[in-house]
Structure 1
Amino acid sequence: MSTAHDLPHGRGALRALLPALAGHRALIARTCAAAVVEQASLVTLVTLAAYTVGDAIGTGRAPSAATVTALAALVVLRALTTWREMDLSHDLAYRVLAELRVRIFDGLARSAPARVAGRRSGDLAATAMADVESLEFFYAHTTAQLLASGTVFTGGAVVLARTEPWLLAALLPVALLLALAPFADARGRTVRGGRTRRAAAELSADTVETVDGLRELLAFGGLAARRERLAARGRTLGDAQRAEVTREAVAAAVRDLLIVLAVLGVVAAAARAVSAGRLDGAWAPAAMALALAVLGPVAESARSLSQAMGLRAAASRVDAAVRAPALAPEPVAPRPLPPGPLGLRLEGVSFGYGDRPVLRDLDLAVPAGQTLALVGASGEGKSTCAHLLARFWDPLAGAVRLVPGTGEPVDLRDLTDADLRGAVAVVGQDTPLFRGTLAENLRLAAPDAGDDRLAEVAELCGVDRVAALDTLIEERGATLSGGQRARIALARALLSDPRILVLDETTAHLDNGGDAELAAALARTRTGRTTLVIAHRPATIRRADRVAVLQDGRIAEEGTWAELTARPGGALTRILALAPR
């Protein structure tokens, strides 16, 4: 499975970012207008100043009040439009970046968990934060500036062609070289930019892992080795950044050399025009100033475009995240889910990860209101069944259906995400908690739940013994035990009052007493609810109405606890014989 950092950073990476501007046409127009006025005012100011100086030297007269007023007005206009252009361009850039972060999250959510699998949290954070942040330069300093410099240069070229064609002839080759220079080493910039982004992502991932595992590193004396690893990552990133900066410095020197050549060419062309009598008096310095002034924005745009080329890697990573395909796409014509109890049915389900098959033509049914324990050795696909019921993936073959009391079964693929989440709740063994109050963590499942309902569920699952509802929970529930987190996770699921509850080793961190306590709580709220319990603990399995044993991707046997344990050498008895006492 390819990830964002494995994708080729092709020529279309930056172009793929342009559609993000589509929703900001009015702001783009104002930004471009401000940039055009800002650059044009500078060109006009420099040209008029050169003409004024030349006229004063040639005639010996001080400039008129109108000229001084015009120069002052141009200075003020230039200052105001520079501020305005910077304000608008950065406003535009940060609005687009905010939307990109949301679209990245949507892409990850749409394609999770397969897209997240194999990617480290620090790497994902680098895409959502650092890669997006680096694109600020593209949106704030490239798009409007390129349009403005092209407009100003075209206008200046027309004036020069009418005033003195030789000045334009001296200017055009340099302008063309400046415009083409960023593309001369485009591939190299892309490679160097990709190296920097990968090094930054690896450093971010290692840093996040180090912070998360700090207690273990201290306990086992691994902090020194980890510190050295981080230092090595930092050196790698520094080397990559130095390589980028060094090549950009060389590119800047080349641009400066081209500008010097333009100055020499403009001076030579002006001298030829003066000697031929085509330019005289104050017009000679004014024409030279105009020629060099219109070249300035071109050189600045070439610099911006050169830097943007190095952003292809970041742009490719962001674009890959934004365009992540949905592994469980929304239905074109969704079906409503009837009210009342629901059963569930897996019919001929086959599924695997890459080239590793897990489920093979699996058939399993749980009637509405019953509790089924799904048992099997590790790696047999029990959690995969839970993930298919949560529709993290769709089966490669077969169907997962919800079965109402009346009417036809409904395929999960025909349900909207909201209807599915409202009907089915999956609680895993390591359900993460977020930094916030205990009440906020519980209300993730039902944001509109009242305080009375919240307190009722908290008491039912023993959460009120863990902490008060207004207690601040640390990130990932770091200060809580596994059993406490399990109680909170179960209470959160029950708060949404699901019609189907899937418990994937939820009580594994609880002792037998805690497991029995939560089982009693579930029994008190069980009316009409269908429950699928994935468990290894015999006491948990025994409490289920029926037991199904998963083996080699299929149901090897199914029945009540009494029926299955009465079979010597049966699949369940073999599993129980290997279970820890």
Structure 2
Amino acid sequence: MTSTTDTRGTTEAVLPPPRGALRALLPALAAHRAMAARTCLAALLEHASLVALSALAAHTVGAAAIEGRSPSAVTVACLVALVVVRAVTTWREMDLSHDLAYRVLAVLRVRVFDGLARSAPARVAGRRSGDLAATAMADVEALEFFYAHTTAQLLASGTVFAGGTALLATVEPWLTAAVLPAAALLAVAPFADMRRRAERGSRTRTALAKLSADAVEAVDGLRELLAFGALGEHRRRLAGRGRQVGAAQSAEATGEAVAAAVRDLLIVGAVLGVVAAAAHSVAGGRLHGAWAPAAMTLALALLGPVAESARALSQAVALRAAAARVDAAVKAPALAPGPTAPRPLPPGPLGVQMRDVGFDYGAGPVLDGLDLTVPPGRTLALVGASGAGKSTCAHLLARFWDPSRGAVRLTSADGDAVDIREVSDAELRGSLALVGQEAPLFHGTLAENLRLAAPDADDGLLTETARLCGVDRIAPLDTPVGERGATLSGGQRARIALARALLARPRVLVLDESTAHLDNAGDAALAAVLRRESRTTIVIAHRAATIRRADRIAVLEGGRVVEEGTWEELSTRPDSALNRVLAATPG
């Protein structure tokens, strides 16, 4: 384990990436077996043609210099053919290898996104968006070298070296003895410094991820940084992150330069060994004439692919950190796994039933034996102090998590109940909609943001839903909105988020403080819209005016429902838990 110092002078540990991270990404090639095979064949022909061209050229020069023979027409034709084969296979190998790599990366990006979505929100919560973006984009992109320049090169160079060595052994064993030690050292060299090389790569990937996270935060919070005069401090922090990236990349480049120097020294040593072995063989009469330079060239040409593979392997080892981050995202476990045999939801209005529900985030129970029932078509206000578990109930209903005990069910009017763990994700999302406290908007028009929940909704329904929720008073539906709705107020975003949910026609609607940004008039107007839309609604709110409009009210304390009734029943009790909550709510 190594450590780095952050921009505030704090020492941060950088853990080395786990072994096998690169091997874990090899199965991604399985869907492209044919292209991978063609890439390996092109690389094999490329290396083999270079070795053959070098040896034949040396033999031709040797024959001309030593024996005074001009090259025959067949020899010239072979040389020309080898040059053409070398040129074509080099181009073809580069074309195929990069095509293969970018196809695999395209699939990996989708798998990373799927992994993040599958494990959200637990694995995403608390992680910075820039760090997630670095995994989804920069780390995946870094693996291009591994897929394009490592796998096929290793297979091709190993095959060519094995065949060439066998041929060389039949010509002159002494040359084989001079080549094999250098080849063995070249092959072992990438592993000799593997741990430190992996740590340097991990330090670089970590520094890049932190720089990305800080840069994204700076862009998102630019207005606040300007408003509070904190832009200068944040710029200095970004500059510090940049220096960390530069230092990590410099250390990585220095390590690679040292490795390259070691490889060059090994090749020089091999050259000296081959010259000495050739001299010994010529003196002994075992190697003579034009075959002497040809055999020497063959011996040295065999080391070229080995040295290139050693270089590729050295650089690939540094990618273990990126591979580990990508592999962890791809294999992220599902917190709410899909059912093996999905059950259909009953037709008609749906109610909600939570029985003996327990849940915790790892730091003590949030819900502890919660029981809650909302009949179909009724509106329930869920009330409690901050941290009482109201949003957790919403997240369990939306199946972002599963309860640690108990059951969450959707029920029909005749009592038919289906545990949401037995419902397919597509049917659950089509039947239940959650509008959260922060419902982000995406870059695009108002209409495109509304259609996110119902892409096939016709224009008439879109226009009517926008009118009911007052979205048409914000701007025309073809008006672009900024990323995350930056050009809109909180109340406007709340209207759009509610309209988006209503456009999907859910049978159960959960509003988690989604009207908190509205004034009293806007809250009342949206409440009137919801009354026209007869569906089961759970409203999580602190505002008394919002709570009193519900058919029933449930008050949470200690992870349980401690009080339930109508506004008239609960608000008139002197010792009511509802009154305690309202009295403790600011404003």
Contact in 2 for aligned 1:170/1:265 (Cα 8 Å): yes
Note the C-alpha offset of 1:148. Answer: 0.2
Q: Which of 217, 221, 226 lines up with 2:225 in the alignment?
A: 217
- What amino acid is the match of 1:479? T
Q: Which of 554, 566, 584 lines up with 1:578 in the alignment?
A: 584
Note the C-alpha offset of 1:408. Answer: 3.1
Q: Which of 245, 248, 263 lines up with 1:237 in the alignment?
A: 245
Contact in 2 for aligned 1:7/1:316 (Cα 8 Å): no
Q: Distance between the aligned counterparts of 1:409 and 1:7, measured in 2?
A: 48
Q: Name the counterpart of 1:173.
A: 181
Q: Name the counterpart of 1:228.
A: 236
Any residues of structure 2 matched to 1:114-513 within 5 Å, and which?
Answer: 114-406=122-414, 408-513=416-521
Q: Distance between the aligned counterparts of 2:387 and 2:19, measured in 1?
A: 42
TM-score scaled to structure 1, two decimals? 0.98
Give the SS at the match of 2:542: coil
Which ranges of structure 1 fall in alignment gaps of 5 or more residues? none
Q: Name the counterpart of 2:522.
A: 514
Note the C-alpha offset of 1:59. Answer: 2.5
- What amino acid is the match of 1:561? W
Q: Name the counterpart of 1:75.
A: 83
Note the C-alpha offset of 1:39. Answer: 0.6
Q: Name the counterpart of 1:109.
A: 117
Q: Distance between the aligned counterparts of 1:299 and 1:343, measured in 2?
A: 69
- What amino acid is the match of 1:401? R
- What amino acid is the match of 1:183? F
- What amino acid is the match of 1:207? A
- What amino acid is the match of 2:546? T
Give the SS at the match of 2:509: strand
Change (3 A) 1:522 1:6: farther
Give the SS at the match of 2:54: helix
- What amino acid is the match of 1:379? G
Note the C-alpha offset of 1:8. Answer: 5.8
Q: Distance between the aligned counterparts of 1:165 and 1:118, measured in 2?
A: 63
Q: Name the counterpart of 2:8.
A: none
- What amino acid is the match of 1:221? G
Q: Distance between the aligned counterparts of 2:106 and 2:539, measured in 1?
A: 41
Q: Distance between the aligned counterparts of 1:66 and 1:498, measured in 2?
A: 79
Tell me, yes or no, if structure 1 residue 553 matches structure 2 residue 559: yes
Bigger mean CA offset, 288-297 vs 349-358 = 349-358
- What amino acid is the match of 1:530? T
- What amino acid is the match of 2:400? F
Q: Distance between the aligned counterparts of 1:506 and 1:213, measured in 2?
A: 22
Contact in 2 for aligned 1:439/1:469 (Cα 8 Å): yes
Q: Name the counterpart of 1:45.
A: 53
- What amino acid is the match of 1:328? A
Q: Name the counterpart of 2:107.
A: 99
Contact in 2 for aligned 1:381/1:550 (Cα 8 Å): yes
Change (3 A) 1:433 1:18: same
Note the C-alpha offset of 1:70. Answer: 1.6
Note the C-alpha offset of 1:356. Answer: 2.6
Note the C-alpha offset of 1:206. Answer: 0.3
Contact in 2 for aligned 1:13/1:315 (Cα 8 Å): yes
Contact in 2 for aligned 1:7/1:317 (Cα 8 Å): no
Alpha-carbon displacement from aligned partner over 1:472-492 (angstroms, at most 9, x marks no partner): 121101000011100110010
Q: CA RMSD in A?
A: 1.1
Q: Distance between the aligned counterparts of 1:21 and 1:386, measured in 2?
A: 40
Q: Which of 545, 548, 565 lines up with 1:539 in the alignment?
A: 545
Q: Which of 563, 568, 579 lines up with 2:574 in the alignment?
A: 568
Note the C-alpha offset of 1:385. Answer: 0.5
Alpha-carbon displacement from aligned partner over 1:233-278 (angstroms, at most 9, x marks no partner): 1111111111111011111000000000100011111111111111
Which ranges of structure 2 fall in alignment gaps of 5 or more residues? 1-12
Give the SS at the match of 2:434: strand
Contact in 2 for aligned 1:503/1:532 (Cα 8 Å): yes
- What amino acid is the match of 1:462? G
Contact in 1 for aligned 2:352/2:375 (Cα 8 Å): yes
